[in-house]
Amino acid sequence: MRRKKFSFSLKGNIKFPNSRAAEAAAPAVMSNLVCQSPAGGYNRGMSEPIIAQKFPYVQDMQPGSFYFCTCGKSKNQPFCDGAHKGSGFAPLKVDLAVAKKVAWCGCKHSKTGAFCDGSHSKLG
């Protein structure tokens, strides 16, 4: 069986002066994420992410780069483990410059990307 290759890209050149600006821009960045097949068509797989849990994953984090699961399928929540393959979703890279407590979105419906904004309280 031959595997299809997919590429992920962001439209435009995006640079953020600090993490607060990146968090504020997360909804726009997420809406510009494109999953495209080599033939030029979009991989439509899942249209809505799976709700991993209806409350945030609160963790003390060290500085570094992390890949947030956006599909909800990862067994390593809130981080990506590659389970999104073929779903049309891609992980969201989050860079933390300093150690801090982070409330990662558990419902995958946050308007602030990887960070909880309380959207889980409005889900059915």
- Per-residue pLDDT tens digits for 11-62: 444 454 555 555 555 555 444 444 433 433 344 456 889 999 999 999 999 9
Q: Which residues pair with 65 in a beta bridge?
A: 95
Domain ranges for the chain, please list them: 7-122
> Which DSSP string corresponds to 1-29?
-PPPP-EEEESS----SSHHHHHHHHHHH
pTM of the model: 0.64
- Per-residue pLDDT tens digits for 55-80: 999 999 999 999 999 999 999 999 99
Give the torsion through C-alpha atoms of 67, 8, 23, 61, to 10 deg.
10
Query: How many residues make up the chain in this entry?
Result: 124
